[in-house]
Amino acid sequence: MYERLRRLRTREAPFYERELAEALRARILSERGQAQKALILLRTLENEVSKKHWPYQLCILKLHMCEVLIKQRKLEMAERYARKALKLATAMQAAPLSCHANLLLGLVCSPLRNPNNPSNRQRCEVSSEKALLQGENATEQLQQACQ
């Protein structure tokens, strides 16, 4: 399958979907309990897409990376990826991607996620006002997307 996707790409028409298909494959690996393999694939894709200057695909990869890291309870690293994705999404004015990043940031900062971790509480309390504003904005955007 990968080779068939790869052959569709030409110099004149790069095949953006290959990277997205590979990102979905990484998500499947993660769901099947192969998180390390998924992270390796996502990091490889992140490097490729960064060189090509494809912000949309890069944002999606960062969101996927964040989700895998959240499942592994690597919350500080997950937060970095979510914030980078949010920055990219905001710059592109991509509301669905911004909402996804905000949702993931909410999961990272949620006291229900890891209530006994003092660094998690402290990190999220410092920016609680900003997070509240982002959360309200994310909720509004998600409601509009649902309509």
Task: Choose the weakest-confidence range: 4-8, 23-27, 29-33.
Answer: 4-8
**Structure token digits, residue 27:** 């998500």
Determine the straight-line distance between the first and last CA of the chain, rounded to whole angstroms.
36
Using alpha carbons, select from 58, 140, 63, 66 the residue that is nearest to residue 92. 58
Using alpha carbons, select from 89, 94, 87, 98 the residue that is nearest to residue 135. 98
C-alpha–C-alpha distance, residues 26 and 57, integer Å? 14
pLDDT at 126: 47
Kindly list the distances between the CA atom of residue 107 and the CA atoms of 14, 39, 82, 100, 120, in Å, as whole numbers in the listed order. 35, 19, 10, 11, 11
147 pLDDT above the threshold of 70 = no
DSSP state of 13: S
> Cβ neighbours of residue 35 under 8 Å, at least 6 residues apart?
29, 68, 71, 72
pLDDT at 7: 61
17 pLDDT above the threshold of 80 = no
For 43-80, how does the pLDDT look when each residue is reduced to its tens digit (9 = 90+)?
Answer: 999 998 898 888 999 999 999 999 999 999 899 999 99
For 83-138, how does the pLDDT look when each residue is reduced to its tens digit (9 = 90+)?
Answer: 999 999 999 999 889 988 988 888 887 654 555 555 545 555 545 566 566 556 55
Helices (H), 32-54: 35-52
Domains of the chain from N-terminus onward: 2-146 (1.25.40.10)
> Cβ neighbours of residue 125 under 8 Å, at least 6 residues apart?
none
